[in-house]
Structure 1
Amino acid sequence: MGALSTLSSPKLIKPTILNQFSPNKIPSLQFNPPPSTKPTNPFSSSAFKSSNDAVPPLVVVGSANADIYVEIDRLPKEGETISAKKGQTLAGGKGANQAVCGGKLEYPTYFLGQVGKDANGKLITEALEGGGVFLDHLSTVSDAPTGHAVVMLQGDGQNSIIIVGGANMECWPESLGEEDLEVVRNAGIVLLQREIPDSVNVQVAKAARSAHVPVILDAGGVDSPIPPELLKFIDILSPNETELARLTNMSTESFEKISQAVGKCHKMGVKQVLVKLGHKGSVLFTQGEEPIRQSIISAPAVVDTTGAGDTFTAAFAVALVEGKSKKECMRFAAAAASLCVQVKGAIPSMPDRESVLDLLQAV
């Protein structure tokens, strides 16, 4: 199964939702190109076209933020006031970033989240629509403002971020509605992050597991321990190096130490851990198998690293649900992240599928 080559704007055509995955198993189908004298690109949209013109969608459940950017030469010291060179507000949030990434990679994508009845909510809604994301499960709440973040962007592209949860953390129903849970059960793959309440993530992960839908949890967000109840319902945990160290209370200063920290995750019940290592690349650890390492695909210039991890995780998920091998998934995700860091902003930097394919052909 895969993204339809005819599906250039997912928001205009609703997919017929089918669940085609075997119980409790992440898909790892190998691509077998048809006999041809010309090499076939396994990442092309047509390579995985569904024979029945229906694909189970990517469902992203998570946060949506208005990112308030301030461009600075350096971070201020304690008690110090400095001037920013520039400031602007752009759409972002880990959940919205990943949803737009899925949409721009031409895979049918739903976003389940909350925004407030304010200008920032409108900004995010328009950005999601522009990325081709289905918004049937986006709620607008009146008792909380849209979540926002202050992004302090330094000249080398590195950033420091402060998040205000707003509607991402407030006003969720005690129990998600049946319509929301149904889209989860009929997904091809589900993406979660930790910028919404753990209770919501647990409900979603349980619903996905009941329907044998694989779940990836991006560890980014609140810095509290991940509830064991959530861990037992996810298939892949995806932290960056810092998050892995915090979650395991172990050092991640070398590959050996990263492997030991991942071993602790395995003992916590997570069989697959996808670690994002910034400029050092990424590694997929599967319990009982050799790790799969992927180096970065170098960018000519790093403008802004905001959203790069979200791009990587979402692109990996899209490749996985399309049936690509794990190595192909890692390479596809690395190419998408390389394009992301070359553009300022989170949602504005999400790459389209054609650009990713072109980069993969060039490297």
Structure 2
Amino acid sequence: MDSVTTTFSKHQFSHSHTTTTFHTPVTPIQSLSFRTHNRNHNFRLLCFSSNPSQPPPVVVIGSANADIYVEIDRLPREGETLAAKSGETLAGGKGANQATCSAKLSHPTYFVGQVGDDAYGSLVTGALRGGGVRLDNLTVVPSVPTGHAVVMLQSNGQNSIIIIGGANLSGWPSALPRQHLDLVAQAGIVLLQREIPDYVNAQVAQAARNAGVPVVLDAGGMDGPLPPQILNFVDILSPNETELARLTGMPTESFEQIAQAALKCHEMGVKQVLVKLGQKGSALFVEGEKPIQQPAIVAKTVVDTTGAGDTFTAAFAVALVEGKSKTECLRFAAAAACLCVQVKGASPSMPDRKSVLDLLNPQ
């Protein structure tokens, strides 16, 4: 997809961390109304530039991390010291991963987040920009380090991760700047995760609902319960089976148990639950409808599972905002996740659109 012209008028804002100037021309807006999951929404389809076929952007609000990779044969036991086979630092963070994935899938994508004024911040910013993500709303917080994570990558491709929140959790204003909320209101879909404060997600979700913009919340991140003020404004909740069990207090070892846990999420106010099941695939539970199951597309070689869930969620959102059916969205997301696990790193492993389509439609 060709690059698009953004729709935001020129603004200049000052907030406590940095001053950012935005220079982007306004283009016409086209609105359509349609019905979704038994609830009326007027989702505005914003047409960027003069081509009405070009979709509105994906807007990701979330975390950006520097991932410190340590390759090991196995996890150390208590009190044990192991020598790593190698180590390097790559861009990551659930928000940055999802934004990079969306942009590499050739969809116009904006990222709203925070980094520190340090080497890790430069690394993450460079990776986002290199992936084609628009960074007008990325804030540099001078007094706080960039978020980072220690990723212990085992030889079988599985990982254990320890996260240091840094700028992802500190320094957000109590009320989000107007340009952030304006961007949300003009999105085609908004992606959230739980590696930034709940109050930020709550403001974004409410602004999106007020503008008729659908919200996808990835349940990964903080362990605590989801506040009702977020759940009430989320259209699709996307946990993996472990997160689903934690959020509902219910077992998720079988598909029947997963279905019951998804029903509990419906009772909590979420109409659609998109569950990532790793090697067992995925399932979408829409309130009042039969579940849609998608088998995993098996990777030839699993190198690193870091970021696979973020890839899946972002690819699903891209397909959804581009008007694909739910079944097509699940298949597209499964293909993207399959390609992700075959490459080391989180953001570096996000596939491009051609690779996904080639996997789905082999010649």
Same fold (TM over 0.5): yes
Residue number in structure 1 paired with 2:130: 130
Question: Shift of residue 8 of structure 1?
Answer: 9.4
Asked whether the 8 Å contact 1:299–1:341 carries over to 2, the reply is yes
What secondary structure sits across from 1:355 in the alignment?
helix
Mind listing any 5+ residue stretches in structure 2 that lack a counterpart?
Answer: 7-23, 39-48
Partner secondary structure for residue 361 of structure 2? helix
* Kept in 2: contact 1:320–1:329 (CA 8 A): yes
1:7 to 3, 10, 13: 3
Distance 1:105 1:357 in 2: 10
- How far apart in 2 are the matches of 1:214 and 1:23? 12
What TM-score, normalized by structure 2, do the two folds share? 0.89
Change in Cα spacing, 1:276 to 1:9, as seen in structure 2 (3 Å) is farther
Is 1:309 the counterpart of 2:309 in the alignment? yes
- Give me the whole-angstrom Cα distance separating, in 1, the residues matched to 2:28 and 2:203: 20
Task: Determine the structure 2 residue equivalent to 1:346.
Answer: 346
1:65 equivalent in alignment to 2:62? no
Structure 1 position 22 matched with structure 2 position 33: yes
Partner SS, residue 257 of structure 1: helix
Q: State the shift of 1:52 in Å.
A: 2.2
For residue 22 of structure 1, report the CA deviation from its aligned partner: 3.3
Residue 332 of structure 2 corresponds to residue 329 of structure 1? no
What is the CA deviation profile of residues 215-274 of structure 1, one whole-angstrom value per residue up to 9, with x for unaligned ones?
000000010101011000000000001000011111001000001111110100001000
Which residue is equivalent to 2:79?
79
Contact 1:252–1:258 (CA<8 Å) still a contact in 2?
yes
Q: Output the amino acid matched with 1:343.
A: V
Task: For 2:37 and 2:188, locate their aligned partners in 1 and report how far apart those are by CA, in whole Å.
Answer: 10
Paired with 2:74 and 2:55, the residues of 1 have a C-alpha distance of: 46
Q: CA deviation at 1:362?
A: 2.3
Query: Following superposition of structure 1 onto structure 2, how do residues 65-214 of structure 1 map, counting pairs within 5 Å?
Result: 65-214=65-214
Residues 21 and 310 from structure 1, CA distance in 2 versus in 1: closer, same or farther, beyond 3 angstroms? farther
Alignment RMSD, CA only? 2.1
**Amino acid of the residue matched to residue 3 of structure 2?**
L
Seen in structure 2, the aligned counterparts of structure 1 residues 324 and 137 have a Cα distance that, compared at 3 Å, is same
User: Equivalent pairs: percent with the same residue?
Assistant: 68
Q: Distance in 2 between matches of 1:17 and 1:69?
A: 45
Contact 1:15 1:54 in 2 (8 A): no
CA distance in 2 between partners of 1:135 and 1:142 (Å): 17
Measured in 2, the distance between the counterparts of 1:22 and 1:8 equals 23
* 17 and 82 in structure 1: CA distance in 2 versus 1, 3 angstrom threshold: farther
Change (3 A) 1:274 1:21: farther
Residue identity matched to 2:344: K
Structure 1 distance, partners of 2:232, 2:195, is 19
CA shift for structure 1 position 25: 3.8
- Alpha-carbon distance between aligned partners in 2 of 1:180 and 1:257, rounded to the nearest angstrom: 39
Name the SS of the counterpart of 1:362 in structure 2: coil
Tell me how far 1:24 sits from its aligned partner: 7.7
- Relative contact order (alpha carbons < 8 A, sep ≥ 6): 1 or 2 greater? 1
Deviation at 1:21, TM superposition (A): 5.4
Contact 1:18 1:186 in 2 (8 A): no
Task: Give the counterpart letter for 1:22 in structure 2.
Answer: S
Structure 1 unaligned spans of 5+: 28-48
Q: 1:14 to 1:294 in 2, by over 3 A?
A: farther
Q: Secondary structure at the match of 1:345?
A: coil
Residues matched between the structures, number = 336
CA distance in structure 1 between the aligned counterparts of 2:99 and 2:210, rounded to whole angstroms: 23
Instruction: After the TM superposition, list the runs of 4 or more consecutive aligned residues in structure 1 that deviate by more than 3 angstroms.
Output: 7-10, 13-27
**Are residues 16 and 104 of structure 1, via their aligned partners in 2, closer, same or farther at CA, if it must alter by over 3 Å?**
farther
Structure 2 vs 1, CA of residues 62 and 16 (structure 1 numbering), >3 Å: closer, same or farther?
farther
Read off the aligned partner of 1:349 and give its amino acid letter: S
Alignment partners' CA distance in 2, 1:312 and 1:84 = 29
- Per-residue CA deviation, residues 295-343 of structure 1 (Å, 9 max, x unaligned), is 0111100000000000000000000000000000000000000000000
d(CA) in 1 for partners of 2:181, 2:110: 12
